[in-house]
Structure 1
Amino acid sequence: MALQGSTNIRSARRARHRVAGGALAAGLAAALALAGCSGDSSDSGDSKAAAPNQAAAGAGPAAAQDNAAEAPQAQGKDTAAKAPDLGVEKRSIIYTGSITVRVKDVNIAAAQVTGIVTGAGGFIGGDKRSSSGNTGPSDATLTLRVPADKFHSVVDQLAGLGHEEQRGINTEDVTEETVDLDARIATQQARVASGRKLLAQAKSLEDLVMLEREVATRESDLASLQAKKRRMADLTALSTITAVLLDPQTEVAPKKDEPPGFLTGLKNGWHGLLASLGVVAAILGWLLPWLLLLGLPAWAVYWYVRRNRRLQVKPADQQS
């Protein structure tokens, strides 16, 4: 009995040791599994983070150039997204006008016009005067350039110099053309800058010549656009007024538009025939002195030769 009891005690101890060893092994396995999962996740995260870096590093200068090329496009999109302010006060308008005023003295009125324009911040662009007698000019045509914001006030002041007979005002809205021109200039400037960069990186003579030609073409186009911009700015900043001053005795002949028809065509044809005859007469008058100078000696030589032939023929006839 004592031997059997000791045997049972040993078996129980062995069972406890086996259970404890199994639990310890299970715990170690679970710890290793957790460590492996955390390692895999960290490794995958590192590999995922390293992949874009390697891709970016592998792209190298090409990616940088693409980014640099996309930057202006993004800026252009942002700029295009912002529509320009096209309010009434921000619009570009070209004003042109004409006015005919009958005054007592054309010279005095012309001096007053000069004072009005100068006071408004403009200048005289042209001055043409004509006279029909010894009493001074009978009419004057002045081309005035005044700031656009003073256009209407200057026209009203000109009308106050005498009796206004005619007035005409024209406006042309060129806002869209101005905006389009600004965009084209900005684009062309970017093209010129990129062409110059490529020219600086040319490695062969052939590339250098080709790029120089391309840059010259782009610069020429840019200069043309800038010239149009300056012209447009001049027309919008300074308005043009044609002022005609007449003295009291000057008569303005009205223009009559003749309707088309047979009589109108006959009249125009007759005038054309007279003009052609005048041209022919002028040519003959120019040639007549040369004909007299060269024709008379030629006729004298011809008459002398013919006379000698007749004298030679007569003796021959008598002998026969």
Structure 2
Amino acid sequence: MNRTTYLLGTALVAGVLLAGCSADSSDDSQATSAAAPAADQLQAQAAEGKDTPAQAPDLKVDQRSIIYRGTVTVRVENVDAAAGQATGLAKTAGGFVSGDNRSSGNGDATATMELRVPADKFASVVDQLSELGTEEQRQISTEDVTDQTVDLDARITVQQARVDSGRKLLAQAKSLNDLVMLEREVATREADLASLQAKKRHLADLTALSTITVTLLDPQAEAAGGDDPAGFLGGLGAGWDALLASLRVLLTVLGALLPWLIALGLPAWGIFYAVRRLTRRRRPAQQP
């Protein structure tokens, strides 16, 4: 009985020791697999998360992202009063004045204002601005940025996933080297994500608020660019202006040289005349 009991006890102790060793080795392998391949996982994620342009869906016109820009030149009776009305139009539409440059004078005052208004109010505000006086010029341009918007959305989604995965790996770091490397990588990913989000906000601002540049002119003020004729008459006028400019330069140079010519030229001419006269008198005397 004692021998049998001794053998059974020995077998039980050996089984407990083997179970403990296997559990310790399993825990060690799990901890190693959680922290050791951090660099490999980051490289794999970086390879999978490369920025690839996304294909824009086939959206309807009212679903697309479009930037509207416009310029209007209007001749008015009172520039300051018209500028106040333009400011009121922008605020009524839900926008604001982002730039205001004015110059005053006797009948030649001008004002150049930059208005930011909601995109859905763009056309109506342009029409109302043209009614402030006599419209002389209007230019409207649009830019479809739907592809850029969709592409940025896809890039932001991928980059956000990369940042989240980097933060998870950072929380599982077991060594100082892994901690330093992961912190640097997460900071780089967060900076890239912030850059993409800034681009998205800029596009969203341009599409949500359209830009209108309105120029207000007094009755006697000259429009930007002037009214110079084109073609043959324009070339003839430009050539005549160039000739007059050249003559003015020539006359200016002559005016600057004239005092020197008088101060130096008259004495030189007098000496030359006196020498020539003496030479003529000596020639008859020398003849036999």
TM-score (normalised: structure 2): 0.59
Secondary structure of the residue that 2:219 maps to in structure 1?
Answer: coil
SS in 2 for 1:132: coil
Mapped partners of 1:123, 1:149: distance in 2: 15
Q: Please state if 1:215 is matched with 2:190.
A: no
Q: Equivalent residue for 1:95?
A: 68
Q: CA RMSD in A?
A: 3.4
State which structure, 1 or 2, has the greater radius of gyration over its C-alpha atoms. 1
Contact 2:55 2:151 in 1 (8 A): no
Shift of 1:88: 1.0
Q: Distance in 1 between matches of 2:157 and 2:168?
A: 17
Secondary structure in 2 aligned to 1:161? coil
Query: 1:123 maps to which residue?
Result: 96
CA distance in 1, matches of 2:229, 2:122: 31
Q: Distance in 1 between matches of 2:227 and 2:197?
A: 42
More helix by share: 1
Structure 1 position 82, deviation (Å): 11
Q: How do 1:238-277 and structure 2 match up within 5 A?
A: 238-252=209-223, 253-254=226-227
Residue in structure 1 matched with residue 204 of structure 2 by the alignment = 233
Map 1:1-320 onto structure 2 (within 5 A): 84=57, 86-133=59-106, 138-252=109-223, 253-254=226-227
Helix, strand or coil for the counterpart of 1:129? strand
| Aligned-partner SS, 1:203 | coil
Pairwise CA distance, 1:132: 2.8
> In 2 relative to 1, CA 229–119 (structure 1 residues): closer, same or farther, beyond 3 Å?
same
Deviation at 1:251, TM superposition (A): 1.3
Identity of aligned residues (%): 66
Aligned with 2:170: secondary structure? helix
How many matched pairs? 191
Change (3 A) 1:179 1:151: same
Hey, what's the Cα distance between the residues in 2 that align with 1:100 and 1:236?
Answer: 23
Q: Out of 137-146 and 184-193, give the one that drifted further.
A: 137-146
